[in-house]
């Protein structure tokens, strides 16, 4: 429901901007008509060209802004994944740690991966997100099966590093390959 409201508000703003532009354009045209009687004969083509260019450039800029906003949201999610990965790795280095806290961090990364799954098609990052999900699932399975996890466990560290590196790869994919 919130997304729908934001979408409507955003589109209302666009409609208002376009209407204001059209009104200003018409006022400018009528002003020039009163001042210069030959205005329509000589400069209608110029006015239409300007109108078309401004209109098209406005929507191209808006499209770019939408893509940039999507990239920023994905960046926030990736930051959270990297932070959680670091927390998991640090928890593994402690002599005593809470397995509940460990599982909560794993769940947090899983949830963030599910959010990324929605952005997969737009940025073509399906493979990378699927890899992240597999690593998290493997880590979750490994931790769930262990009775006691040793300090500096190499399996946990490997999964955490893989998650961290893959999230950095997704960063480069969304900013430099799309």
pLDDT digits (tens, 9 = 90+) for 163-176: 999 999 998 888 88
In the prediction, which pLDDT does 68 show?
85
HEC assignment per residue over the chain: CHHHHHHHHHHHHHHHHHHHHHHHHHHHHHHHHHHCCCHHHHHHHHHHHHHHHHHHHHHHHHHHHHHHHHHHHHHHHHHHHHHHHHHHHHHHHCCCCCHHHHHHHHHHHHHHHHHHHHHHHHHCCHHHHHHHHHHHHHHHHHHHHCCCCCCCCHHHHHHHHHHHHHHHHHHHHHHHCC
With a pLDDT cut of 70, the percent of the chain lying above it is 86
Q: How far is CA 175 from the centre of its chain?
A: 10
The single residue listed with the structure tokens 């991966």 is 113
With a pLDDT cut of 90, the percent of the chain lying above it is 19
**pLDDT 10s digits, 54-95:** 888 887 777 777 788 888 889 999 999 999 988 888 887 776
Pairwise CA distance, residues 152 & 156, whole Å? 8
pTM score: 0.66
Average pLDDT rounded to a whole number, residues 152-161: 87
**pLDDT 10s digits, 30-43:** 887 788 766 656 46
In the prediction, which pLDDT does 81 show?
92
More reliable by pLDDT, 150 or 126: 126
Give burial (CB, 10 Å; 0-12/13-18/19+) of 44: exposed
């Amino acid at each position: 429901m919130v997304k729908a409201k934001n979408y409507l508000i955003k589109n209302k703003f666009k409609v208002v901007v376009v209407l204001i532009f059209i009104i200003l354009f018409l006022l400018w045209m009528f002003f020039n008509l009163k001042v210069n009687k030959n205005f329509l004969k000589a400069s209608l083509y110029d006015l239409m060209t300007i109108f078309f260019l401004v209109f098209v450039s406005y929507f191209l800029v808006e499209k770019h802004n939408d893509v940039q906003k999507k990239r920023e949201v994905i960046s926030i999610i990736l930051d959270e994944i990297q932070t959680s990965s670091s927390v998991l790795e640090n928890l593994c280095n402690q002599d005593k740690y809470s397995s509940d806290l460990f599982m909560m961090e794993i769940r947090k990364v899983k949830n963030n991966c599910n959010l990324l799954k929605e952005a997969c098609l737009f940025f073509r990052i399906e493979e990378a997100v699927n890899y992240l999900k597999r690593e998290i699932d493997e880590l979750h399975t490994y931790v769930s099966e262990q009775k006691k996890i040793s300090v500096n466990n190499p399996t946990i560290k490997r999964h955490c590093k893989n998650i961290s590196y893959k999230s950095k790869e997704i960063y480069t994919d969304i900013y430099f390959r799309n």
